[in-house]
Amino acid sequence: MKKPELLAPAGDFEKLKTAIHYGADAVYLGDSRFSLRGKAGNFNPEELREAVNYSHKHDKKVYVTVNIFPHNKDLSDIEKHLELLKNIRPDAVILSDPGIFAMFRKKAPEINIHISTQANITNAESAKFWEGLGAKRLVLARELSVDEKKEIRKKTKIELEVFVHGSICISYSGRCYISSFLAQRSGNTGECTNSCRWNYTLMEEKRQGEHFPVFEDDRGTYLMSSKDLCMIEHLPVLVDAGIDSFKIEGRMKGINYVAGVVKTYREAIDSLGDKKEYKVNQRWLKELSMFSSRGYTTGMFFGKQPDADYNFDGESYRMSHELVGVILEVNNGFAKVGLRNRVDAGDKVEYLTPGLEEKLFDIDSIKDTKGAVVDSARNEDIVFIPVPKDVRQNDLIRRDKNFRNSA
């Protein structure tokens, strides 16, 4: 069985390194001017060059998003961006606008083109249209069922990519107008305010100032915001449907999310090659519950489901674990750590290492950069702590958010 590609988000250079460290086969990233995630850290031209070089040095692919819906004023800058991409040679660009597609085909035919989910590819004729124009890959619309994806596979030879994990836009495959209407910031030019995830209330016309929550049950609900997508229990179904690339959403999410999701899906995809039947490891499901999510759904993959399978139930983002720090170096049983949270001697933490199961360890001691033993250290401090033998550079350290209450 040919294993599908694991494609991870890289909102900035640190997230790129994290994704590659934890097993991504490829990453997708962008310049904030031309990408639909303008609020992510993103990459300036020199950083894009460095990102491509870093990825290729580690035998990973890198895809650059140029998937905004441009206006006339954007075209000259996109042409300059095209010249940069010709020079730095990413493995592909991700486009949605037909005019930009034509521009790249004419002026940079050597660059592979992937058609973004923003193009709303929902049928085999659309797929054949883009295939006929020379696209290398299609990112299929999120609204398609597995059977519909199979039908497209049967009628085309082009590579197919689908989202398997992460946030779902309340729109049609990401073409959203809610943010433009409510905040005058267009999600189609990279300025989404995530207004579909705001908490909404009702106000009766004749009772100004009295706000009433929108109840679906006794706990309440959000009007538009969906649960997050999670397909880890159904990966063989997608392989059988002929999907070439499994994509993780999340360029605006932190390295704790990127590390945990990529590591988990890496293990799951690698297990697809086993001769034995695919078996979902319960540890994977536990892992995916540890960082920010809104509960999980399989979306439209298995057709229309009851509303309760999609609708977020009104709680805040769920996250059981928090990031403690990043391991910068490991020497003689000690790690140099860049802290992202306060830490105290005696704290119980987990080291997130690719390919290994997470285990709890006590931080026996903490030394500052001068070698002095300290009882605690704060966010952004650099410290040295003893670590287990398998811990590596770029591993993350995390802990239960409620560790002090449970101690």
Distance CA 395, CA 221 (A): 37
Query: Does residue 207 lie within any of the structural domains?
Result: no
For residues 150 and 123, is the Cβ–Cβ distance under 8 A? no
Question: Are 109 and 36 part of one and the same domain?
Answer: yes
Q: Which among 309, 329, 360 is the end of a domain?
A: 309
3-state secondary structure of 390: coil
| Both tokens assigned to 326 | 């990043």
CA dihedral 230, 234, 240, 244 (to 10 degrees): 30
Q: Are residues 231 and 367 in the same domain?
A: no
CA 215 to chain CA centroid, Å, is: 31
Asked if 42 and 73 count as a contact pair (C-beta separation under 8 A), the reply is no
Instruction: Please report, for residues 54, 262, 392, the alpha-carbon distance to residue 20 in angstroms, rounded to integers and kept in the order given.
Output: 10, 9, 14
Tokens 């800058």 -> residue: 77
DSSP states of 366-385 as a string?
EE-TTS-EESEE-TT-EEEE
pLDDT of res. 314: 52
Output the domain CATH number for residue 41: 3.20.20.70
Same domain as 112, residue 147: yes
Residue 387's domain comprises 321-406
Total number of domains in the chain = 2
Would you state the pLDDT for residue 276? 67
Residues 352 and 400 grouped into a single domain: yes
Main-chain dihedrals φ then ψ at residue 69, nearest 5 degrees: -95, 100
Query: Parallel, antiparallel, or unpaired for β 92-95 and 61-65?
Result: parallel
The answer for residues whose C-beta is within 8 angstroms of residue 125's C-beta and 6 or more apart is none
Looking at the domain assignment, is residue 197 inside a domain?
A: no
**pLDDT score for 275:** 57
Token code pair at residue 146 = 């597995």
* Strands 228-230 and 296-297, sheet pairing: parallel
Q: What CA–CA distances, in Å, run from 45 to 50, 72, 76, 80?
A: 9, 22, 16, 11
Q: Is residue 163 part of a domain?
A: yes
pLDDT tens digits for range 333-384 = 999 999 999 999 999 999 999 988 888 899 999 999 999 999 999 999 999 9
Q: How many helices (H) and strands (E) does the chain have?
A: 11, 22
CB atoms within 10 A of CB 63: 25
pLDDT digits (tens, 9 = 90+) for 171-195: 555 556 566 666 666 655 556 666 6
Q: 374 and 269 in one domain?
A: no
| Strand ranges in 41-140 using DSSP code E only, listed in sequence order | 61-65, 92-95, 113-115, 137-139
147 and 59 within one domain: yes
In this structure, the answer to whether residues 158 and 63 fall within a common structural domain is yes
**pLDDT < 70 stretches in the chain:** 1, 35-41, 169-207, 210-225, 274-276, 305-318, 403-407
* Beta carbons of 67 and 89 less than 8 angstroms apart: no
Angle, CA of 256, 260 and 263, to the nearest 5°: 140
pLDDT score, position 319: 72
Note whether 243 and 358 are same-domain residues: no
- Residue pair 341/326 in contact (Cβ under 8 Å)? The answer is no
Q: How many CB atoms lie within 10 A of CB 404?
A: 10
pTM: 0.85
pLDDT at 217: 41
What is the CATH number for 380? 2.40.30.10
Give the C-alpha distances (Å, rounded to integers) separating 379 from 183, 326, 336, 382: 33, 11, 14, 9
What's at 196, amino acid-wise?
Answer: C
- 337 shares a domain with 302: no
Helices (H), ranges, 233-307: 235-240, 255-271, 282-288
